[in-house]
Amino acid sequence: MEEQNKDRWVVDGQLALPYQYFAGTVGSHFLTSLRDRKKILGQRCPTCNKVFVPPRQTCERCFANLADAWVELSDVGEVTGVTVINYQEKYLPLPPPYALALIKLGGADTPLTHVVAGVDPANVKVGMKVKAVFADERKGSLLDIKYFTPA
């Protein structure tokens, strides 16, 4: 048994799965607008008159096609929900702790989820006014908005 035990050990491994996320025609327009014009776009449903963000192909209420229903939104909004991330994972955008908030931008009816920084995460409250800060180097991802900061 002694002889056998020295041969029990643990091998470290890694499971890596490369994949590509395709943003689609609607998502691509939203992302290129963030990257090239620093503009956050929403979509106004022609039937319901609701303005949605992040972008989608179809209105979730009446199934109207929203592919060409773009409207520009303000880069200032109001926090409608907030949580503090306290754990570390490689795929997360920032080292913890940081605040992840639902932010209802001016002109929109639905909130956008993003990071609120430049303030103690514990002090991010519902109702707080925040403003988008764009990354200097933008690559066509949601992180082209670096974070939101108190306005």
Partner 1 sequence: MTDAKQELITLPQILSIPQRFATGPIMGRFLRELRDNKRIMANVCPKCGRFQLPAREVCAICRVPVTDFVEVGPEGVIQSFDLVYYASPDPLTGKARKAPYTTTNVLLDGVKGEDTLWHLLNETDPKKIKRGMRVRAVFNEVRTGSMHDIKYFEII
DSSP string, 67-80: TT-EEE--SEEEEE
Q: How far is the CB of 94 from partner 1 (least distance, A)?
A: 17
**Alpha-carbon separation of residue 138 from 20, 40, 135, 145 (angstroms):** 18, 13, 6, 8
At its nearest, how many Å lie between partner 1 and the CB of residue 64?
A: 15
The reply to whether 5 sits near partner 1 by the rule CB under 8 A is: yes
| Alpha-carbon torsion, ordered 48, 64, 143, 136, to 10 deg | -80
Residue 105 β-bridge partners: 77
The residue (of 14 and 49) whose beta carbon lies closer to partner 1 is 14
CB of 34 to partner 1, least distance (A): 10
Tell me if 23 contacts partner 1 by CB under 8 A: yes
| Interface ranges with partner 1 (CB under 8 A) | 4-29, 31-32, 67-68, 70, 90-91, 140-141
